[in-house]
Amino acid sequence: SQQGEEDPQALSIQEGENATMNCSYKTSINNLQWYRQNSGRGLVHLILIRSNEREKHSGRLRVTLDTSKKSSSLLITASRAADTASYFCATDAKNYGQNFVFGPGTRLSVLP
C-alpha cells in the first residue's frame, strides 16, 4: 500500500489562479518532498520539508506540513501554463530502508 496519496487526482485551473494539492500519508516520517513531472520526462525535485517544520517557501511554491494530521499541501501561486505537469509527494518510510515512497500524483492543467 502506498505511503503517500495526493488529492485531487486531477486539477484544472486558469492561468493566474492558485493551485493547491494535498498529500496524506500513513506512518510517521522524517521528511516529505514534492516533485514535478512534465509529460514524458523524469521527476524534478521541488522542495523538501522536514518533520519539525510547518511551512516552507520556494519562489511561487508554498508547502505546509501537519504531522498531527499526517498531511501536506503544495500551493502554487499565480500559476502559469508552464506549471502544467503531474505533482508527486514522497515520504520516507521505515520500510525499504527509509527510501522515499511516492504517491500516484496530481495532474495539474493550467489553461491559458
Q: Which residue has the cell 530502508?
A: 97
Q: Which amino acid is at 98?
A: Q
For residue 41, the minimal CB distance to other proteins (Å) is 6
Least distance between other proteins and beta carbon 35 (Å): 8
Applying CB under 8 A, does 11 fall inside the site for other proteins? no
What are the phi and psi torsion angles at 42 (to 5°)?
-80, 175
- Contact (Cβ atoms closer than 8 angstroms) between residue 5 and residue 25: yes
For residue 101, give Cα distances in angstroms to 12, 21, 60. 26, 17, 25
Q: Does 96 bind other proteins (CB under 8 A)?
A: yes
Give, as ranges, the residues between 32 and 51 that touch other proteins (CB under 8 A).
Answer: 33, 35, 40-45, 48, 50
Sole binder of other proteins in the list 19, 74, 83, 105 (CB under 8 A) = 105
Binding of other proteins by 25 (CB under 8 A): no
Burial (0-12, 13-18, 19+ Cβ within 10 Å), 42: exposed
**Bridge-partner residues for 64, per DSSP?**
55, 73
Instruction: List the one residue from 84, 100, 108, 110 that touches other proteins (CB under 8 A).
Output: 100
Under the rule (CB under 8 A), what is the footprint of other proteins? 2, 4, 30-31, 33, 35, 40-45, 48, 50, 88, 90, 92, 95-105
